[in-house]
């Protein structure tokens, strides 16, 4: 099993020489296993993924956590949508008053995008989920609503004994009155529990988070506490703030590590990073 980060920036793309190490593309992670291709989110990083994709793959599953623009802005530039031999399933949550199809049609329409959803040459199927368990080939996938504005889910993807958890936008400290001491009522705990690798929101330092409580994102300190509570084996901090340079991210992480005790592998997400599990 191979996992590749194609984008790990949050809110908006932010290119620049001072961000080359961790990258400026927004959320997109690919999971490859046997002939299965799962794509987590369709941020700006999915454009580069589409160009690198094995041309023999004709079945693709895109799992959207939510429909904030930084998580879907790359969809229209994903090459396989223009291949009539390609079957693409898009999974994601509906809104409170509109279906997932209606919401995606708004993106795939002028003036936002020149090609409408029903004009894409590929065979596209839209599949709505909520607190759902479903199967894609060898993967058993659990989705669950998270603390984040609007309908937002996290994903737990399991195959051959490996668990991959993905929560790029998440504010766990709001889910429980006893965070991080108890898992009861803790948003995202069921998705992250004992995961082999967890991709998790770590957008802010403590001072930034105190000014942004309720915005749906997480401090690095809270992310570390959440991963400790969930007993994960590895956490990849994700959804880097677009204003933070490489040096800023490394300083934030060093400061959090100096305050926290944990017994798992902890790294900053970086474009083009690859993780393999046998």
Say if CB 7 and CB 27 are below 8 A apart: yes
Any bridge partners for residue 33, and if so which? 36
The mean pLDDT of 68-81, rounded to a whole number, is 97
Which residues are CB-contacts of 278 (< 8 A; sequence separation ≥ 6)?
Answer: 1
Q: Compute CA distances 221 → 173, 202, 234, whole Å.
A: 11, 8, 15
pTM: 0.97
Distance CA 254, CA 214 (A): 25
Question: What is the pLDDT, as a whole number, of residue 175?
Answer: 81
Question: What is the pLDDT, as a whole number, of residue 55?
Answer: 84
Distance CA 92, CA 98 (A): 12
Distance CA 86, CA 95 (A): 27
Three-point CA angle 112, 218, 262, nearest 5°: 140
Percent of the chain having pLDDT more than 90? 95
Any bridge partners for residue 26, and if so which? 9
221 pLDDT above the threshold of 80: yes
Mean pLDDT for the chain overall:
96
> CATH: 3.20.20.70, 3.60.15.10, 3.30.160.60, 1.20.210.10. Which one for 2-276?
3.60.15.10
Question: What is the pLDDT, as a whole number, of residue 114?
Answer: 96
Question: What is the pLDDT, as a whole number, of residue 97?
Answer: 84
Question: What is the pLDDT, as a whole number, of residue 134?
Answer: 97
177 pLDDT above the threshold of 90: no
Question: What is the pLDDT, as a whole number, of residue 104?
Answer: 96
Question: What is the pLDDT, as a whole number, of residue 19?
Answer: 97
Say if CB 160 and CB 105 are below 8 A apart: no
State the greatest distance between any 2 C-alpha atoms of the chain, in Å, as a whole number: 53
Neighbours of 58 (CB within 10 A): 16
Question: What is the pLDDT, as a whole number, of residue 56?
Answer: 84
Residues 82-135 have pLDDT tens digits of 999 999 999 999 887 899 999 999 999 999 999 999 999 999 999 999 999 999
Question: What is the pLDDT, as a whole number, of residue 95?
Answer: 80
Residues 155-174 have pLDDT tens digits of 999 999 999 999 999 999 99
Higher model confidence: residue 95 or residue 226?
226
**Domain coordinates in residue numbering, the chain:** 2-276
Question: What is the pLDDT, as a whole number, of residue 53?
Answer: 94
Question: What is the pLDDT, as a whole number, of residue 249?
Answer: 98
The mean pLDDT of 243-263, rounded to a whole number, is 97
Residues 32-71 have pLDDT tens digits of 999 999 999 999 999 999 999 988 889 999 999 999 999 9
Distance CA 25, CA 23 (A): 6
Distance CA 84, CA 150 (A): 33
Could you tell me the two tokens for 240? 């880097």
């Amino acid at each position: 099993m191979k996992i590749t980060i194609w984008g790990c920036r949050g809110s908006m793309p932010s290119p620049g020489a001072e961000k080359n190490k961790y990258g400026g593309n927004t959320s997109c992670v690919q999971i490859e296993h046997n002939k299965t291709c799962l794509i987590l989110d369709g941020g700006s990083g999915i454009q580069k993924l589409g160009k690198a994709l094995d041309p023999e793959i004709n079945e693709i599953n895109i799992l959207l956590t939510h429909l904030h623009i930084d998580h879907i802005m790359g969809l229209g530039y994903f090459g396989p949508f223009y291949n009539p031999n390609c079957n693409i399933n898009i999974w994601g949550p509906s809104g409170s008053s509109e279906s997932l199809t209606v919401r995606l049609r708004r993106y795939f329409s002028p003036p936002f995008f020149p090609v409408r959803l029903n004009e894409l040459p590929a065979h596209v199927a839209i599949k709505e989920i909520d607190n759902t368990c479903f199967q894609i080939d060898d993967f058993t996938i659990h989705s669950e609503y998270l603390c984040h504005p609007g309908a937002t889910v996290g994903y737990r993807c399991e195959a051959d004994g490996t668990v991959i958890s993905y929560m790029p936008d998440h504010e766990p400290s709001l889910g429980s009155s006893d965070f991080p001491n108890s898992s009861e009522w803790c948003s995202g705990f069921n998705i992250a529990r004992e995961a082999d690798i967890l991709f998790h929101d770590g957008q802010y330092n403590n001072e930034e988070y105190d000014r942004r409580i309720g915005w749906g994102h997480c401090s690095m300190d809270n992310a570390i506490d959440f991963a400790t509570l969930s007993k994960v084996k590895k956490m990849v901090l994700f959804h880097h703030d677009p204003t933070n340079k490489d040096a800023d991210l490394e300083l934030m992480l060093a400061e959090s590590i100096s305050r926290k005790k944990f017994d798992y592998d902890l790294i900053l997400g970086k474009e083009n990073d690859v993780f393999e599990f046998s």
